[in-house]
Amino acid sequence: MAKSLQAIDFKQTAWKSCNYCSNHFFKTPNLFLKHLREKHCTVEGGSFVCHYGYNGVCSSLPLDGVSDKDYEAHVEKYHVSQSMKEAEEKWNIFSAAQNLPAVLNDPSRGRQSNLFTKKWGDSFVDRQLVPPSSLLPRIDWTHLELYCKKIGKRFRRHTRLGSVGSTHDFKAPTSSSISPSSSISSLQIIDTSNLRTINENVLNETTIRDIPQVFLKQDLDFSQPETFALVFLGLDINSDDDHQELQDKLSHYLDIVEIQISKQISQKSSSFFHAMTSQDTIMEEMSKAVRNVRKLREKLCLIDNTLVRQSLNIISCERIKTNKQMVLEKLRLMATVHQTQPMIQVLLGTQDYVAALDLISTTQEILAQELSGIHCFRHLPHQLKELEKLIDKMLTTDFEKYTTSDLNRPLIEDDYRVLDEDKIVSIISGLLRKKNFTFIDSYKDEAITTIRALIKQLVIEVIASSDVEICLTGSGEEAQSLSLQEWILLLEAATASLIKLLKRVRLIHDVMLHVADSSAGRNIEGDNVSYLSDSETFLTITDHNYIENKLTNLLQSVGNYCHERCANLVSNQSLEQYSGTLEEMEKLSQIVEEFCSSCEEVIGIKSIPLMTAFKAQGTRFSQKFHSERKSKLSLLLDNERWKPAEVPGEFQKMVNYIAKGSFMWTKIEDNQANEPSIAAPMLMVGDEPFALVGAALILVQIVSEYCRCSSHLPIIAVQMGRNVIDLLRTFNSRCCQLVLGAGAVHVAGLKMITISNLALVSRALQLVLWLIPHVKNHFNNLVANGNAGSLSGWATVEKDFLSHIKEIENKMLMIVGQLVNQQLLNWDARPPIPSQSFRNISRHFVKLHEAIAQVLPSDQIHCVFRTVHKNFKDKLREQLLRNNIINNGTPQHGTVISELTFYLETLRTLKAMPVDELSDETMDDIWIK
């Protein structure tokens, strides 16, 4: 009750203090609201999130927050007034409770078959035996015997006196005199028949309805003040009589319940008698079955004595005859087995290991199946087993000797024969017969050891021929001071020797495979090589497939190991110390490709370690190649003065080759042809002249170098293609920075960026646009031949160049347009004619024509002046409208006509546009009609 009063008081004064901040008290709700906004609220993206609650989480406000107005309403409703929710109570030990799901889901009780047939109560949960405490002494009956004898007499006298008294004065001993823990023991000793009689007489007159309903409720909870008050109604704490009366009343209710339970049990007594009757019926049927079995056995004994015994004697005689014949056959078989060991020696002398092993196996089967238990042959199985181990050891030793001698003999060109073929066939057949398939792994290990020794020997030979003093490392092939030429020579010698060794390994592989095919009876039709007869097939299909897989793995492992050792040579750190030339990389590529193709032809599959290592070297070479030329181009652009440069003759020839789709022209070939080199003011691309800066010519030369390099090294064509795209992007962006961005004024020291500079940049970009399709086709052909798809990014580069050219053209038009607009703003239709404004406009057009005439082609010049002319007419039309001059034949109109005549004559003189576009009628559209 006190707890409830505290909660109510807290509900009414919830705003006077903060539940989660110590020493915070408030006089008014507004102060409490301000405290919540400052200490227990955060603003996230304009939304207010309330944190006034346990662990900083408010259970009544969404985590994603609300608006400012909604937040004030929330605090007023849930935290200030507390009208919808009581204050949170902290958990304590009195909050714990056991509910029905917790009892039903107890994992320690296992599965319950009678779960839903039980009645709820204190016996619903199975009782667990509590083990006795080791700290308490064990109390047995002997400790209480003296007490029971002493108290027994008093209890019986008390019982007799109680039976004489009135019924309402009787007090049950079970609740008043005897504790619950000792009631059972007391009832076993004391005669309580009179007591039970009296209780039953009294209780039979009462029913379950006499018990108050509060005790029959399923949710009886004395912790509730209401329930406690109903049970202990009118109880005086200081009165012993009230205590005794209440105890008697509760004991009386308990006795009523026990009597009702006894009645329920007595009503089920008929079921017990029915079960006993069924037991008697079953016993009678069992007795009848026993008698029938006894009669059946007597009949069977009679049949056995009269009909069966004579027939069994005939069968016994026949069995004796058969056994004697079997003994004779055993003796003959023993004589044959006795000759086994001499015959094995003869077969081993002729190196017929398969026949010797077959004989041993057959003899062991006979001894195990036919001659089992023969005393004279008790040591023969062990002897045959030891002999078989000896043959196995002989085969392994002979195979290892043969392998070592065959793999380490000199590698002679065109010496592709099997050494002592009959001997190796016999050894392999014996090993296969023994199902000792580890010889394939042994051969693989020996081949790998031979390859390692061969590489080491080649390294020693290269070092011995070198003039530099070199110290060998542990691997024998990582001499860090060899030159690049020496590394290439070492790789060339290693690949040639390894191919010869691989062919020798392939020969032994073929012999092993043919012997395995013959042993499994799978000789290919048309194959004249047959090492065994059909009667000597002993390999199963599973074993044959296993051997085929191991032999395939043998070739692949040896071939991959050769590639790995060569890859170690190619990817060695010493190669990174030298900047290899294109010729050296081409030589290296030739060696790698020849070795890879020869190795693929020998082992039947394509190995990639060496090619991967070479690709890594090629990538490193392409990166260095690209970085050098990119730096060179950037340096040229930074020093470029953006003036026309003369075109050497070799550049013109190079462009002519590119126009034909070939990038293989070099200056060395031109010098060998003794053709004179004449410089020209412009570069001719077909019939179109190009006035270019020096950086643009160098760009074409660098791009040609990329293309020639990718032709010599197709393996790095993809990287080279990407590098070309990056180089073109660099050229385009740097030109934009230097010219359009006026970077050349600060970098190259130019006074200003002129229209001539812009025209030269535009022409250089147009040359690159002409070059891109040829470069794109070149790289796509190389990549397609390597089945690697096509390069992407060309379309983006072309788009960037076109955009840049358009920006340059707009820049030129903007410069001229500003000058023309400035002159027209100061112009008025009055003498003198031509006016100074039109003279200045003509002068600007002349300068524009002089700046672009020697750079841009005539079509582009016409396009530029056509745009300038159109802008001029638009500005003039606006000026005429502003000055209110119309086509009405007035003097002002005549002045305008004279000005336009001078303007058109200037354009005709410059030949800036086609003649038909400069007629007088073309200016009629300037008048507003």
pLDDT the model gives residue 724:
92
- 480-487: long-range contacts (C-beta < 8 A, 24 or more apart)? 480/573, 480/574, 481/574, 482/574, 483/578, 484/574, 484/575, 484/578, 484/580, 484/584, 485/584, 486/462, 487/569, 487/572, 487/574, 487/575
- Mean pLDDT in residue range 22-45: 80
The CA-CA-CA angle for residues 362, 364, 368, to 5°, reads: 120
Q: How confident is the model at residue 768 (pLDDT cuts 50, 70, 90)?
A: very high
Dump pLDDT digits (tens) for 533-557. Answer: 444 677 888 888 888 899 888 888 8
The torsion angles phi and psi of 220, rounded to 5 degrees, stand at -65, 115
What is residue 536's predicted lDDT score, i.e. its pLDDT? 61
* pLDDT tens-digit series, residues 99-130: 556 555 555 555 555 555 555 566 666 666 77
Q: What is the pLDDT of residue 177?
A: 37
pLDDT at residue 729, as a whole number:
92
Cα separation, 473 vs 466, in Å, equals 16
SS3 state of residue 481? coil
- Report the 3 state secondary structure along 719-758: HHHHHHHHHHHHHHHHHHHHHHCCHHHHHCCCCCCCHHHH
Range 353-378 average pLDDT: 77
Note the pLDDT of residue 618.
Answer: 81
Residue 725: what pLDDT?
92
Asked if residue 200 has pLDDT above 60, the reply is: no
Q: Which of 411, 421, 416 is nearest to 457 (CA)?
A: 411
d(C-alpha 848, C-alpha 756), whole Å:
8
Residue 6 has pLDDT above 80, yes or no: no
How much is the average pLDDT of 250-257? Answer: 86
Please give the pLDDT value at position 23.
62
CA distances from 736 to 359, 612, 742 (A): 92, 39, 8
- Whole-number Cα distances in Å, 673 to 545, 654, 657, 704, 862: 64, 14, 15, 20, 42
CB 759 within 8 A of CB 642: no
Q: Is the separation of the CB atoms in 41 and 71 below 8 Å?
A: yes
CA dist., res. 411 & res. 421, Å (int) = 18
pTM: 0.55
pLDDT band at 578 (very low <50, low <70, confident <90, very high): low
Spatial CB neighbours of 41, under 8 Å, sequence gap ≥ 6: 48, 49, 50, 51, 52, 71
- pLDDT tens profile 811-844: 888 888 888 888 888 888 788 888 888 888 888 8
Per-residue pLDDT tens digits for 480-519: 556 677 778 888 888 888 888 888 888 888 888 888 888 8
Q: What sign has the CA pseudo-torsion 174, 177, 181, 187? A: negative
What average pLDDT does range 441-446 have in this prediction? 90
What is the distance in angstroms between the CA of the first residue and the CA of the last residue of the chain?
103
Confidence category of residue 728, pLDDT binned at 50, 70, 90:
very high
Average pLDDT, the chain: 77
CA distances from 900 to 318, 597, 894, 918 (A): 146, 78, 10, 11
d(CA 512, CA 502): 15
Residue 533, both tokens: 């007869």
Residue 800 confidence (pLDDT): 92
Q: What is the pLDDT of residue 534?
A: 44
Q: Which two tokens stand for residue 166?
A: 């009135």
* Residue with the two structure tokens 């079960």: 275
| Secondary-structure percent of the chain, ordered helix, strand, coil, rounded to 5 | 70, 0, 30
Of residues 602, 810, 812, 640, the one with CA closest to residue 731: 640
Provide the CATH topology of domain 826-927. Monooxygenase (1.20.1280)
Give start and end residues of each alpha helix (H) in 338-437: 340-349, 353-369, 380-407, 421-433
Enumerate the β-bridge partners of residue 577. Answer: none
Structure tokens, 487: 């590394």
Question: Does 621 score more than 80 pLDDT?
Answer: yes
Rounded average pLDDT over 449-470: 78
